[in-house]
A and B are shown apart, each in its own frame.
Chain A
Amino acid sequence: MGTLAGNTLIDELSRRLRDTGNFGYARGDILSVLNVSQRAVNARLGLVLSSATLTTVNTPLYDVPSIATDIVRVVEVRDNDRILTKVPYEHLVYQDQNWLRLYGAQAEVFANVGRDLLVVIPTPVVPTSLTVTYVKQPTDLADAATPLWDLPDEHKSLVLDLVEAVLLFRGREFENMQAVLERIAPALGLETTIQQLRRGSDRTRE
């Protein structure tokens, strides 16, 4: 849990955009972009985690929103102290071609299929309580002193840079936006994508 509030972050962003009176960039608009951007950064870096209990049933397929409504992706499934192996869903067939109806004493492997499906195989013969650890959608901020944001404070500048880049797009300040994105690309592992964005911008100016 961080120590930063929405109103403080909006004030700082308004200073960055040279609009402390919020004439060009309304505080509500900044807040809506800030909330989505913090969720995107958290999805990328897995900063905010939570856990839920999943009791296995007579199927390997589980509806993720039924486990918890704020799951971005499942990162770990544990059977007490034993951690299940995570595989891409395309590799389930390499575990066993009959994985859909595979039963066993304990679950061994899990896979995410998009945002809505979780596969756990083999299906335990006896219903088992598993602990699902997942990247959690962070709490939305408000233009107020509470709630405090969920992300670690050391990622403040990264999130604010991303919000600044989005809002500079709104102002059609593409060169300034490009500079901001190049600054945050290493932290987010997006160097290649940002290079492609720069080359695309160069082409449109030719």
Chain B
Amino acid sequence: MPNATVTALVQTLATVAVDATQIGSYQDQTINDLARLYIPRALVQTGASFVAAVKGQAVYDLPTTDGARTALLIIYDETQLSLARYDEAQMFNQAWRDEQSRPIAYINDTINRAKFAVVPTPSLDGATIALTPLTYSVWPDANLTVVYAKADTAYAGTNLTDTHLALAFEVLARELGRDSDHKDPEASATAKAMATVFWQLSFPELE
């Protein structure tokens, strides 16, 4: 469900009759792009979840049901894993998928960005998981904790209201750039530049 305030800002700035459905779709797309870190200097919505570790299992899913799109930090039990490349895993051990030990690194899946693999594979099944990394009462040993950038397309957080113009300009850049009766390439490029300005205003610590 698109954020109504952002939609209203888009319509205010557009001055032409824009397609409301397309606006909502572009808003969702931009929020997903934010979570995939495609928009530089903007890390907005974040979260953390446990992922159950399985003995001998290399590949795991990002907790996409919680909105996760990009892993920022992955921790096995209590130890943060290093981000490695596929060739580094191969240099470590060509049969790393078969080796069972305590994971020391993770690699992002080269095809499915919603998956990652730990290197080497866990030698234990993780304990039963209850609650979340923010609310747990008993630590679930030998599991994975994933801190991630997430995409909540409602974008309803009151701590995000300063980013509404940035989001509106991103949406407007796409809407004015597509083929339509109100296509305006110059306005589209300028809207994209204004979005960059407003992202920088909201996230000075990421410069």
| A32 and B12 contact, Cβ closer than 8 Å, known pairs A43-B162, A70-B158, A204-B185 | yes
Q: How far is the CA of A37 from the CA of B136 in the complex (A)?
A: 39
- Kindly list chain A residues whose C-beta atoms are within 8 Å of the C-beta of B160: 115
- Kindly list chain A residues whose C-beta atoms are within 8 Å of the C-beta of B27: none
Q: Which of A5-13, A92-100, A124-132 binds B?
A: A92-100
Looking at the complex, which one of B136, B159, B190, B197 makes contact with A137 (CB distance below 8 Å)?
A: B159
Q: How far is the CA of A88 from the CA of B45 in the complex (A)?
A: 16
- Kindly list chain A residues whose C-beta atoms are within 8 Å of the C-beta of B119: none
User: Is B118 at the interface (CB under 8 A from chain A)?
Assistant: no
User: Is A29 at the interface (CB under 8 A from chain B)?
Assistant: yes
Q: How far is the CB of B83 from chain A (nearest CB, A)?
A: 10
Q: How far is the CB of B172 from chain A (nearest CB, A)?
A: 9
- Kindly list chain A residues whose C-beta atoms are within 8 Å of the C-beta of B134: 59, 61-63
- Closest A residue to B141 by beta carbon equals A101
Name, among A29, A193, A204, the residue most crowded by chain B CB atoms within 10 Å (CB to CB).
A193
Q: Which of B72-80, B91-99, B108-116, B121-129 binds A?
A: B72-80
- Kindly list chain B residues whose C-beta atoms are within 8 Å of the C-beta of A166: 13, 165, 194
- Closest A residue to B185 by beta carbon equals A204
User: Is A65 at the interface (CB under 8 A from chain B)?
Assistant: yes
Contact A40 B165 (CB under 8 A): yes
Contact B197 A197 (CB under 8 A): yes
- Kindly list chain A residues whose C-beta atoms are within 8 Å of the C-beta of B48: 61, 117
- Closest B residue to A112 by beta carbon equals B205
Q: Give the interface size bracket for B toward A.
A: 35 or more
Looking at the complex, which one of A44, A63, A97 makes contact with B204 (CB distance below 8 Å)?
A: A44
Q: How far is the CA of A196 from the CA of B196 in the complex (A)?
A: 10
User: Is A52 at the interface (CB under 8 A from chain B)?
Assistant: no
Q: How far is the CA of A65 from the CA of B157 in the complex (A)?
A: 8
Contact A137 B158 (CB under 8 A): yes
| A116 and B45 contact, Cβ closer than 8 Å, known pairs A97-B80, A204-B186 | yes
Contact A169 B202 (CB under 8 A): no
- Kindly list chain B residues whose C-beta atoms are within 8 Å of the C-beta of A165: 194
Q: How far is the CB of B14 from chain A (nearest CB, A)?
A: 8
Looking at the complex, which one of B13, B80, B137, B204 makes contact with A43 (CB distance below 8 Å)?
A: B204
- Enumerate chain B interface residues (CB-CB to A < 8 A): 5, 8-9, 12-13, 15, 43-48, 72-73, 75, 77-80, 133-137, 139, 145, 147, 149, 157-166, 184-187, 189-191, 193-194, 196-198, 200-205
Given contacts A93-B80, A114-B46, A116-B157, 9 further A-B contacts (CB under 8 A): A32-B8, A43-B201, A59-B136, A64-B159, A72-B202, A114-B45, A115-B46, A190-B200, A193-B193
- Enumerate chain A interface residues (CB-CB to B < 8 A): 29, 32-33, 36-37, 39-44, 58-59, 61-65, 69-73, 89, 92-93, 97-102, 112-117, 137, 165-166, 169-172, 174, 177, 181, 188-190, 193-194, 196-197, 200-201, 204
The 10 closest A-B pairs by CB, nearest first: A114-B46, A101-B78, A39-B162, A197-B193, A44-B201, A40-B201, A43-B162, A114-B43, A98-B78, A36-B165
